[in-house]
Structure 1
Amino acid sequence: MTDELLTVPEVMAWLKVGRTTVYDLIRTHRLPSLRIGRSRRIPVEGIRAYLASQLQHDGVAA
């Protein structure tokens, strides 16, 4: 994925989780996002940082 900002459905596909999970990650500030009009966008680097923190938290070498 080379786009800088992803939509919620794109994040859902990348993480293989549902819409509710993505919005829960956004709501709890574990996944950064921004609003553009009525749309929600998630920076790719935010997703990578979230995954790295989860791997570290779970004790998996990144």
Structure 2
Amino acid sequence: MTTAVKPATARALFTVEAAAEYLSFGRSTVYELMAAGDLPYVKVGRSRRIRLVELDAFVAQLQPQTN
């Protein structure tokens, strides 16, 4: 019997490490964004999880830099 592997975007909740990979950020940056309130998260026991919709909303609100 084979087990189907879901793509990363099929997840409902991401660990900090998985969210960092999804965003192409460092783990520390994700923790800083959560502490600042810029990236909402949920606590499950002692763990923090970030919903996919929150990650996508964060990316959507980013403004391109103009020099």
Normalising by structure 1, we get a TM-score of 0.84
Give the match for residue 29 of structure 1: 37
What is the letter of the counterpart of residue 18 of structure 1? G
What is the letter of the counterpart of residue 23 of structure 1? Y
What is the letter of the counterpart of residue 31 of structure 1? L
Q: Which sections of structure 1, spanning at least 5 residues, go unmatched? A: none
Q: Of 42, 46, 58, which residue of structure 1 is paired with 2:64?
A: 58
Q: Secondary structure at the match of 2:11?
A: coil
Q: Higher Cα Rg: structure 1 or 2?
A: 2
Deviation for aligned residue 1:58: 2.2
Q: Secondary structure at the match of 1:50?
A: helix
What is the letter of the counterpart of residue 56 of structure 2? R
Q: Secondary structure at the match of 1:30?
A: coil
Q: Which sections of structure 2, spanning at least 5 residues, go unmatched? A: 1-8
Quote the RMSD (CA, aligned, Å): 1.2
Residues 1-62 of structure 1 mapped to structure 2, 5 A cutoff: 1-54=9-62, 57-58=63-64
Matches of 2:20 and 2:60 in 1, distance apart? 17
